[in-house]
């Protein structure tokens, strides 16, 4: 994929911001397993209000009788500091919820600990560290430079139904839609600055079921075993070649993620067999089109399909914004970032409906793993990169 040219005349900016490590530790210390609420938002609000941000918090989802797959209740935060009328509006976006820590940590996952040049704790890279860097980066930006905002959800790691989408509704209702949005997901691979995301593939999960007739295994003529038909259905789906990729996107892939019959008896033909597939797809497809295609294949095998679309593919075409981000990265790291659309989904898939969106953040090697950790020097460098992006956006 193409790389972006180094911005000319770049100069190293001094670091006048609050201590980003202290900010990151305060956020990590909040046990904010998705869906996050309460203390982590109190902490973030306490960081932003002294910097002149008006903070708006609200709870969404979790109503009685709601579908469990939608999750909730979820807390969200939108903070904005208005610049001069007509000035550009740059938004930082991210999430303060984290995945469960799991077992086997060397230390408490929610008791941040500095060991050597690393800061350990759940969320250190995904993505409380990046949020801390965002706050530190804007601390010394003059209020008259432009409009800054933070779009922060507690439901990115969960169903993502009542999080960023609800924030988008709020921003539209308030007439405070950003011109540019930078998402702090951990995009770097081997060194800070080697990759940024200018798009993402779409995602659809499809639940499959083949019904049969339960019966005794010794009398198969009196039953209808759905298992062979489910196996044949999955074999046909697994053999599909959806495409060979595009200029900016890797090939779409279909993966079988669950097979379930749940039959506790060895002498009973089951009455139903179920499975689940996940498709990550590029801009040659839509979630609805793939759902219809799988539904038709399932019907040929006597089954049904229930698609749930998590997001559609999107691309922020290379241009001024991508050059702005790449220039800031190069000025601080000496690297020219690869512009990629690889990896999983993020809330950028929703934010792209508002304005151009680019993702850039820390190394992703330890995200969702035990002993998640960030290099302290990377956090400090990320502050400088984010600050350069702000300055460039407001030039």
Q: Please give the model's pTM, rounded to 2 decimal places.
A: 0.88
CA distance 379 to 375: 7
Determine the pLDDT at residue 14. Answer: 39
CA 129 to chain centroid: 15
CA distance 243 to 255: 14
Residue 221 assigned to a binding site: no
State the SS3 of the chain.
Answer: CCECCCCCCCCCCCCCCCCHHHHHHHHHCCCCECCCCCHHHHHHHHHHHHHCCEEEEEEECCCCCCCHHHCCCEEEEEEEECCCCCCCEEEEEEECCECCCCCCCCCCCCCCEEECCEEECCCCCCCHHHHHHHHHHHCCCCCCCCEEEEEEECCCCCCCCCCHHHHHHHHHHHCCCCCEEEECCCCECCCCCCEEECEECEEEEEEEEEECECEECCCHHHCECCHHHHHHHHHHHHCCCCCCCCCCCCCCEEEEEEEECCCCCCCEECCEEEEEEEEEECCCCCHHHHHHHHHHHHHHCCEEEEEEEEECCEECCCCHHHHHHHHHHHHHHCCCCEEECCCCCCCHHHHCCCCCEEECCCECCCCCCCCCEEEHHHHHHHHHHHHHHHHHHHC
The reply to whether 258 belongs to the active site is no
Determine the pLDDT at residue 6. Answer: 28
pLDDT tens for each residue of the chain, 395 residues long: 333 332 323 333 334 458 999 999 999 999 999 999 999 999 999 999 999 999 999 999 977 555 556 777 999 999 999 999 999 999 999 999 999 999 999 999 999 999 999 999 999 999 999 999 999 999 999 999 999 999 999 999 998 999 999 999 999 999 999 999 999 999 999 999 999 999 999 999 999 999 999 999 999 999 999 999 999 999 999 999 999 999 999 999 999 999 999 999 999 999 999 999 999 999 999 999 999 999 999 999 999 999 999 899 999 999 999 999 999 999 999 999 999 999 888 999 999 999 999 999 999 999 999 999 999 999 999 999 999 999 999 98
Determine the pLDDT at residue 62. Answer: 78
Residue 185 assigned to a binding site: yes
The reply to whether 97 belongs to the active site is yes
CA distance 185 to 347: 9
Selection from 20, 83, 131 nearest residue 361 by Cα? 131
**Catalytic option among 25, 75, 155, 156:** 156
Determine the pLDDT at residue 135. Answer: 98
Q: Which residues contact 176 (CB under 8 A, 6 or more apart)?
A: 78, 80, 89, 149
Instruction: Indicate if the alpha-carbon torsion angle 336, 191, 21, 360 is positive or negative.
Output: positive
Residue 95 assigned to a binding site: yes
Determine the pLDDT at residue 68. Answer: 58
Domains of the chain plus CATH, in order, are: 20-200+313-394 (3.40.630.10), 202-311 (3.30.70.360)
**Catalytic option among 25, 75, 97, 283:** 97
CA distance 82 to 60: 25
């Amino acid at each position: 994929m193409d790389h972006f040219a180094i911005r000319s005349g770049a100069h190293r900016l001094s670091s006048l911001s609050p201590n980003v490590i202290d900010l990151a530790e305060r956020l990590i210390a909040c046990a904010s397993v998705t869906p996050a609420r309460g203390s982590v938002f109190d902490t973030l609000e306490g960081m932003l209000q002294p910097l002149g941000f008006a903070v708006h918090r609200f709870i969404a989802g979790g109503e009685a009788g709601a579908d469990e797959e939608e999750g909730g209740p979820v807390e969200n935060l939108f903070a904005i500091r208005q610049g001069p009328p007509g000035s550009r509006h740059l938004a930082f976006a991210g999430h303060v919820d984290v995945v469960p820590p799991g077992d086997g940590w060397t230390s408490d996952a929610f008791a941040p600990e500095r060991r050597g040049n690393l800061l350990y704790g759940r969320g250190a890279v995904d993505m409380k560290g990046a949020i801390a860097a965002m706050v530190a980066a804007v601390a010394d930006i003059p209020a008259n430079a432009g409009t800054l905002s933070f779009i922060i959800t507690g439901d990115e790691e969960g169903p993502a139904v009542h999080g960023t989408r609800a924030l988008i509704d709020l921003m539209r209702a308030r007439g405070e839609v950003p011109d540019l949005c930078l998402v702090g997901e951990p995009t770097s691979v081997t060194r800070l600055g080697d990759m940024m995301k200018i798009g993402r593939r779409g995602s659809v999960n499809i639940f499959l079921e083949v019904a049969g007739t339960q019966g005794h295994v010794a009398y198969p003529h009196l039953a209808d075993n759905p298992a062979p038909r489910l196996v044949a259905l999955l074999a046909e789906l697994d053999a599909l070649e959806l495409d060979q990729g595009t200029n900016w996107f890797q090939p779409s892939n279909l993966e079988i993620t669950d097979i379930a019959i749940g039959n506790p008896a060895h002498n009973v033909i089951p009455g139903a067999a179920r499975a689940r597939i996940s498709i990550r797809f590029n801009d040659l497809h839509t979630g609805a089109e793939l759902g219809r295609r799988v539904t038709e294949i399932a019907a040929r095998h006597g089954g049904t399909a229930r698609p749930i679309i998590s997001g559609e593919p999107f691309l922020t075409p290379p241009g001024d914004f991508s050059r702005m981000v790449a220039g800031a990265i190069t000025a601080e790291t000496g690297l020219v970032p690869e512009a990629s659309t690889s990896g999983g989904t993020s809330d950028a898939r929703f934010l792209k409906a508002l304005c151009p969106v680019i993702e850039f953040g820390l190394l992703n090697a330890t995200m969702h793993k035990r002993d998640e950790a960030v290099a302290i020097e990377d956090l400090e460098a990320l502050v400088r990169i984010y600050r350069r992006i702000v300055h460039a956006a407001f030039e």
